[in-house]
Structure 1
C-alpha cells in the first residue's frame, strides 16, 4: 500500500464514519476518557508485575506513575497526528482556493481533538481529586485553557490549524515523564538523567519556544482572516497561545536552571 493509497483509505473511512455517525465529537471524547482509564489500569498491572521498584513506591507515587503513562501515550499519539495533519496532509495547505485555513477541518482532525478533550478532562479530574500531588494551579490553568480551546475547535471546526500547532508542544511530555520516572527509580545521579535533562531542554526550546514564535508570526500574517472570526474564537486564537506561551517560558526558565545545576554538579 502506497502513501497515497493509505491517505485515500483514511479519507474514505473518515467520510463513512462521519456519514453514519454525525455525533463524532461526543464519541471521540468518550473514546479519550475510556482510553485514559484503560491505559491507567494497564500501567498499574504491568508495572506491578515487571518493575519491582514500582511496588515499593508510596500509593500517591504509584498513582502519579500511572497518570504519567497516560500523558506519555497521549503525547505520542497527538504529536504524530499533529505532524501528519499540519505538515504532511494537504488539509492546511496554502491553497487559497480551498478557503481560509481557519475554517478547514476533517472527520479525522475533529475526532483526534475529541480524544484530546477526553484526556484533558480525565487529567483535570485526577489533578483535582489528588490536589496538589499531581500538579499545582499552573497545571490547572494550562489544562482548562487547553480543554476550552480544543472543545471549541472540535465543535465549531474553527481554528483547528492553530490548535494542532499548539498540540505539537506535547512532544516534550515523554521526556518530562521519563525524568520523573528516573527520579522515582533512584537514578537521579545516573548518566541517563543528565542526557534526559539536555534532551528536555532542546525539545522544549524547539517545540514550546521557537514553535510558538512561528505560531505568533503566522497569526500576525493571517490577522486579516483572524479578525473575521466570531468574538469568542477571536479571543481564543489570540489569547490561548499567549497564555500557554507565557507558561512555557516560565517552565523553560526552570528547566534551564535545573539543567545547568545538573551539569555543574556532574562536572564537579
Structure 2
C-alpha cells in the first residue's frame, strides 16, 4: 500500500507538477520559502502563546524563531528519510542495480527542500555570526550543503545521504532544550526528560546509525567505487567528519546528562 502511494505521488509530480530537469531548482526555492514561513509562524505563535517571548532580547527572539525553523526542517526531512528508506522499494534489495545510483522525483525534490534550508540557515549564521553558532556550525552546515546539493543534482549516493539525514531526528530535542533553558525551565521535569531523550536519540541516530552507514559502504564498496570521483570522496569524507563531530558533541551531552541526574538525585 505504501509503495503504491509512493508510485502514484511520483507519477503525479512528474506528469503534472514538475518536469525532471527543473525539480532541483524548484525544490530549493520551495525550501527557502518554507523556511521563511516556518520562521514567521514560530514568531507569530510564540508571541501569542508564550508570554515571555516579548521580554527576550532581539537576538534571543531571532534565535528562538531560527530554532523553530530548524525544528520544522528536521521533522520534515526525518519523516521523508525514514519513509524512503524503510517504506518504499527505492533503496531495497528487491530492485536490481547499484544502490548508489537510485533516485526518484520525490527523493530529489525532498533533498532540494533540505538544500534550501541549509542555504537559509547558513545565511543567517553568517549574517549574525557568531550569535547563532560558531565555526562548528559553519563546518557542519557547509559539509551537509555540499553533500546534499551534489547528490540532488547528480542522483548519486542518495541512499547514504538519506541515512545521514535521519540524524536530524535529534534537532527538535536540542532546540527544545534551548527553549526550556531560555524560558527559565531548566529545573523542570520536562528539561530532565528531554535531556534523557536527546541522549538516547543522539546515541541511536548519530552514533550507531553512522556505524551502520560505514558498514553498509564497506559491503557495497564495489557499487560506491562506480560513482564519480567527487561523489566517491564525499561518501567517505562527509560521514567521517560528521561522525567525529557527533562523537565530540555526544561526550558533552553525556557529561551534561550525568550532571543533571546528579542534581536531581
Shorter-chain TM-score: what band? over 0.9
* C-alpha distance in structure 1 between counterparts of 2:236 and 2:167, whole Å: 17
Structure 1 segments of 4 or more deviating over 6 A? none
For the structure 1 residues 256 and 17, does the alpha-carbon distance in structure 2 shift closer, same or farther, using more than 3 Å as the test?
farther
Question: What's the RMSD between the two structures over aligned residues?
Answer: 1.3
Instruction: After TM superposition, give the deviation of residue 117 of structure 1 in Å.
Output: 0.2
In structure 2, distance between residues paired with 1:18 and 1:230: 30
Question: C-alpha deviations, 1:43-95, integer Å up to 9, x for none?
Answer: 11221122111111111000000000011010000001000101110000113
How high is the TM-score relative to the length of structure 1? 0.96
Give me the whole-angstrom Cα distance separating, in 1, the residues matched to 2:115 and 2:212. Answer: 24
Query: In the alignment, which residue of structure 2 is the partner of 1:23?
Result: 22
Which of 100, 121, 140 is the aligned partner of 1:142? Answer: 140
Counterpart of 1:38 in structure 2 is 37
In 2, the alpha carbon distance for the partners of 1:96 and 1:4 equals: 13
The alignment partner of 2:131 has SS state of coil
Aligned length: 265
* Aligned with 2:249 (options 224, 248, 251): 251
Find the partner of 1:128 among 123, 126, 129: 126
Comparing 13-22 and 25-34, the one that deviates more: 13-22
Partner SS state of residue 185, structure 2: coil
User: Which of the residues 203, 216, 219 maps onto 2:217?
Assistant: 219
Larger CA deviation: 9-18 vs 132-141:
9-18
Partner of 1:23, secondary structure, is: helix
- Structure 2 gap segments, 5+ residues each: none
Shift of 1:216: 0.4
The structure 2 residue matched to 1:235, chosen from 227, 230, 233, is 233
Structure 1 residue runs without a partner (length 5+): none
TM-score by length of 2: 0.97
Match of 2:154 among 153, 156, 174: 156
CA distance in 2, matches of 1:163, 1:248: 16
Q: CA deviation at 1:265?
A: 1.1
